[in-house]
A and B are shown apart, each in its own frame.
Chain A
């Protein structure tokens, strides 16, 4: 399959949908821009399910996966996305703990510039670090998660998953449950869902809800059943185990009792409410296995599939000008 056979990816109108050099976060993106990325992602779902998953769209382009925090799922998903687009993909893992200095990050950027990458995919444990890096490099940057700030491709893949199941997001009630305080997934999702007209509720013990969350457009709840009342989508977040021993939450047992998703609490949501989780799951902590594995309700596996498609679309969109210029250069 040639790139030209995918109308949405090669049409000029859709490339007008997203006009940024980088993808650093969902905050500030318009509904149209998000819509353009989701539309483009749809075509890559089809490609990934087809006989030939790989094209030469990004042939000759270099993608570097720069991870300052361990990750298997997201890194693999980006790697696969880059390879299916025909790019050269390189993985760089850097232990952040060994280089906790601001200058080092800039040094890293200088080193990378010398390698002439075309897209840099960055995950970093500190909020704002990806943006800092993006200001110092000469290529497009995709934020693969920065601290507790944003994880835009996760929000996009969540939106794509919902849209494919429900036709759209407008008017849906979505409950995001768990460690909102430390979650970049929650922040990106709140921005995206509110931009597309969904009603967002966040539920957590008060110690895991950030101050002034209403300012982002989400309604806070302390009680899971109240939060789930009439919901269309229940998004569970992972709770780091080190936060469960008396500092933020007294115990795993208490957390599961009040905030773990099980059949009983899910009963408050709409009968056809769907369940999502960004993974990896802590079964028995934030989600009951029975619920996580319910093939009629759980979208957790679909989310992983959509992840690759969304990341292919992001790579396509951010290298479009680059490829366009190259084509012109070649023609002249």
Chain B
């Protein structure tokens, strides 16, 4: 770190494969960071060697992309610090190559007022790790009835509004939220599940039938998305469907986009990696909300990521302690700690030849940035020096016990993946470095 902040804070990341999905740049070259910003970049930069007085980091051919943005995480602070804190989640995110994350407001108390937004921002500053943005609640205490002070929360930095893991179920409330948020150009992010239909614990189908578990039909998601899209049409609001898990909902979103509605969506890696079959013999680590779906839905989600219908891939980081997970399936908490596995699980679509590396990175960089109106996600002169350096091919096995996250709940135990972050840079500062990376870090000091 000493080298990176040397002199007037000038650092050259050279011998890197520069990847900028927004511009399509994919070339061997270098990036010059000055202070907190990218001063220059390109294939010819430092071809004649890095001048004296600039710290040098040899990326040894590794990929260098805009810092990854994870638009859906639960930080559990305030209120459930035994499961996660802003600091521990920040460390986990940095190791996962993530430079910015957006937190759901379903903390205790919920982030439904200005004080909550200000608190998260202060704790994030103190943690000095990745950038943390917060969503505001759509309704007070996430109760689904009265809309929050969307305008004031937005002025104090909230980057969108959502009731977190709960759907805004009342159509009139959703209509007014979409409508009201327009005045402040804020996106309403929905957990798209009809709560009355979604009272089961896993996908409705053969597996649930065999296990004797209450099912949640795929229609629970499609119905909510269909309704919301009608409300978007009615209000002209901006809408984002979170962690979409079914082909039916994705088809509706695809059509809405074609009709020009202001609609986006994300999914989480487990929805294109796992299916209801992975619940196996009541594995509560594979319990998520919405549930892992049928194989055909899994394929549809992968396809929708590949064809661009899905705008962002987010970890849907939902840390839970052992006490919340080591329970009979029906009463175990849903969720996966996903910050440290977002990149390799997404790269599986690249290795599986379903999409290009640049398109996959787009779902982790400029496209989520665009949804949240962040000035981030691009390699460009003058942009904040938020960078992720990674080896797309390094093979390893996921070991949840080694997670930096406080919670280790992941169904991907011993799961083989390819691709790993080597270094994570936020505002020009290296906040994470894999063992062995930048062995020549001291060069030029």
Contacts and interface: CB of A to CB of B under 8 A. Distances in A.
A206 interface: yes
Interface string A224-255: 00000000000000000000011111110110
Contact of B180 (A205, A245, A253, A257): A205
A257 B179 contact: no
B176 A247 contact: yes
Contacts of A249: 180
Contacts of B182: 206, 222
Interface of B is mostly: helix
Contacts of A246: 139-140, 145-148
A258 interface: yes
Listed residue (B145, B151, B183, B235) with the most chain A CB atoms within 10 angstroms of its CB: B183
B152 interface: yes
A205 B180 CA distance: 6
B150 interface: yes
A219 interface: no
A207 B183 CA distance: 9
Interface in A208-223: 222-223
B230 to A, nearest CB: 15
B26 interface: no
B384 to A, nearest CB: 29
Nearest to B148: A250
Interface string B118-153: 000000000000000000000110000111111110
Interface in B138-181: 139-140, 145-152, 176, 179-180
A246 B112 CA distance: 12
Q: How large is the interface on A (under 10, 10 to 19, 20 to 34, 35 or more residues)?
A: 10 to 19
A256 to B, nearest CB: 11
A131 to B, nearest CB: 29
A257 B147 contact: no
A9 to B, nearest CB: 47
A245 B146 CA distance: 7
B151 A207 contact: no
B162 to A, nearest CB: 16
Contacts of B140: 246
A250 B147 contact: yes
Given A207-B176, A246-B140, A251 B183 contact: no
A281 B179 CA distance: 26
A223 B235 CA distance: 17
A254 B149 contact: yes
Contacts of B148: 246, 250
B179 A207 contact: yes
Contact of A250 (B146, B179, B235): B146
Given A207-B176, A246-B139, A246-B140, A257 B146 contact: no
Which 4 pairs, one residue from A and one from B, show the smallest C-beta to C-beta distance?
A: A246-B146, A222-B183, A206-B179, A254-B149
Interface of A: 205-207, 222-223, 245-251, 253-254, 257-258
22 contacts: A206-B179, A206-B182, A206-B183, A207-B176, A207-B179, A207-B180, A222-B182, A222-B183, A223-B183, A246-B139, A247-B147, A247-B176, A248-B176, A250-B148, A250-B149, A250-B150, A250-B151, A250-B180, A254-B149, A254-B151, A257-B152, A258-B183
Given A222-B182, A253-B152, 20 more contacts: A206-B180, A206-B182, A206-B183, A207-B176, A222-B183, A246-B145, A246-B148, A247-B146, A248-B176, A250-B146, A250-B147, A250-B148, A250-B149, A250-B180, A254-B149, A254-B150, A254-B151, A257-B152, A258-B151, A258-B183
